[in-house]
Amino acid sequence: MKILVVGGGGREHAMAWKIKQSPRCSKLLCAPGNAGTAEVGVNVGLAAEDVPGLLKLAKDQKIDLTVIGPEAPLCEGIVDAFEAEGLRVFGPNQAGAQLEGDKAHAKAMMRAHAIPTAEARVFQDFKNAYDYVATRDEPIVVKAAGLAAGKGVIVCDDPPDALLALERIMKKHEFGSAGDTVVVEERLEGQEVSILAFVDGRNIYVMESSQDHKAIGAGDTGPNTGGMGAYCPAPIVTEELMALIERQVLVPIVDAMNRQGTPYKGILYAGLMLTPAGPKVLEFNCRFGDPETQPVLMRLDCDLVEVMEAVIDGKLDQVTLKWDPRPAVCVVMASGGYPGSYEKGKVITGLEEAGALPDVVVFHAGTKAQDGQVVTSGGRVLGVTALGSTIASAKQRAYEAVDKIQYEGAYCRRDIADKAMRGGA
Distance in angstroms (rounded) separating the CA atoms of residues 95 and 176: 22
Query: Is it the case that residue 407 has pLDDT exceeding 70?
Result: yes
Distance in angstroms (rounded) separating the CA atoms of residues 309 and 230: 27
Query: Is it the case that residue 423 has pLDDT exceeding 60?
Result: no
Distance in angstroms (rounded) separating the CA atoms of residues 14 and 37: 8
* One-letter identity of residue 35: A
Torsion sign, CA atoms 222, 227, 230, 233: positive
Q: What global pTM score does this model have? A: 0.93
Query: Is it the case that residue 174 has pLDDT exceeding 80?
Result: yes
Q: What is the pLDDT of residues 119-154, one digit of tens each?
A: 999 999 999 999 999 999 899 999 998 888 767 889
> CATH 3.30.470.20 occupies which residues in the chain?
191-318
Distance in angstroms (rounded) separating the CA atoms of residues 91 and 97: 9
Q: What pLDDT shows up at residue 224?
A: 85
The CATH number given to 191-318 is 3.30.470.20
Separation of CA 183 from chain center: 20
How much of the chain is in helix, strand and coil states, percent to nearest 5? 35, 30, 40
**pLDDT grade for 240, boundaries at 50, 70 and 90:** very high
> CATH 3.90.600.10 occupies which residues in the chain?
328-422
Query: Is it the case that residue 77 has pLDDT exceeding 60?
Result: yes
Class of the CATH domain delimited by 328-422: alpha beta
Give the SS3 label for residue 364.
strand
Q: Of the candidates 345, 334, 329, 332, which has an alpha carbon nearest to the alpha carbon of residue 411?
A: 334
Q: What pLDDT shows up at residue 55?
A: 98
CATH entry, 2-93, from 2.40.50.1020, 3.40.50.20, 3.30.1200.10, 2.40.50.1070: 3.40.50.20
